[in-house]
Amino acid sequence: MVEKKTKKKDSTKIKKLTSFFFEIGTLRKIARSHRQLFLTDDLSDNIASHSFRTAIIGYFLAKEVEADPDKVIKMCLFHDIEESRAGDQNWVHKKYIKVFEDEIRREQLAKIPNSQELLNLSKEYDKKKSLEAKIAKDADLLDQVLLSREYEWGGNKEAKRWLNGGAQVKRMYNQISRQIVKEISKQRPNLWWHNLWTGDRR
């Protein structure tokens, strides 16, 4: 009897997890809404791709300032999951639209393993008081600054205006993040492959 209950509980957990994984997969389909304001149709920039680079940035920032990288990565990966149900809002939308992010996250994470840990991390991220939360927010913004620099490099005048010669420095919590913003404003986005290309095959 106990074994049947355990199997049923495990089956419910697996069903819920699988459904959640499908939902998270839809973040690849949600284009970020700053496309409207940047006058771009870059469909490669979606919530999933944004969260991925944000998590990579967060890991390295956490290591630099000796914060908890595991915690930062989780905050970065989960910071926009509610957008699978609410969509993404740009800086104009946010003036007019109220999104019940806490309610969405509670429903998304209900009855799946480690849900309380993730809800606690979401609350901590939203408050922006802990070192890890500040690093995660810096990582979120740094991805936007990097993307805007990439757009600027391609001739997007609106992205150039938004970057405003490194003005985003003021929005960063940590010194290392401010230094990176300054470097982004100077560095060519193609520098990483500049010394790698060749016309000759091996």
pLDDT tens digits for range 151-164: 999 999 999 998 88
The CATH number assigned to the domain holding 172 equals: 1.10.3210.10
Q: How confident is the model at residue 4 (pLDDT cuts 50, 70, 90)?
A: low
What is the extent of the structural domain holding 125?
2-189
pLDDT at 9 over 70: no
Strand, coil or helix: what is 31?
strand
Please indicate, yes or no, if residue 173 is contained in any of the structural domains.
yes
Residue 197 included in any domain: no
**Alpha-carbon distances, residue 22 vs 25, 26, 171, 196 (angstroms):** 5, 7, 34, 38
Residue 102: inside a domain: yes
Asked, for residue 74, whether it belongs to a domain, the answer is yes
In a domain, 110, yes or no: yes
User: What percent of the chain has a predicted confidence (pLDDT) above 70?
Assistant: 95
Q: Which residue has the higher pLDDT, 151 or 1?
A: 151
Distance CA 34, CA 147 (A): 11
pLDDT digits (tens, 9 = 90+) for 158-201: 999 988 877 789 899 999 999 999 999 999 999 999 888 888 88
Q: How far apart are CA 177 and CA 172, in angstroms?
A: 6
**Assigned domain for 201 exists:** no
Residue 154 DSSP one-character state = T
Only one residue has tokens 């005048």, namely 157
Residue 88 within any structural domain of the chain:
yes
- How many folded domains does the chain comprise? 1
Asked if residue 195 belongs to a domain, the reply is no
Q: Provide the Cα torsion 69, 59, 164, 32; round to 10°.
A: -100
Phi-psi map region of 137: left, alpha, beta (phi>0 left; psi -120 to 50 alpha): alpha
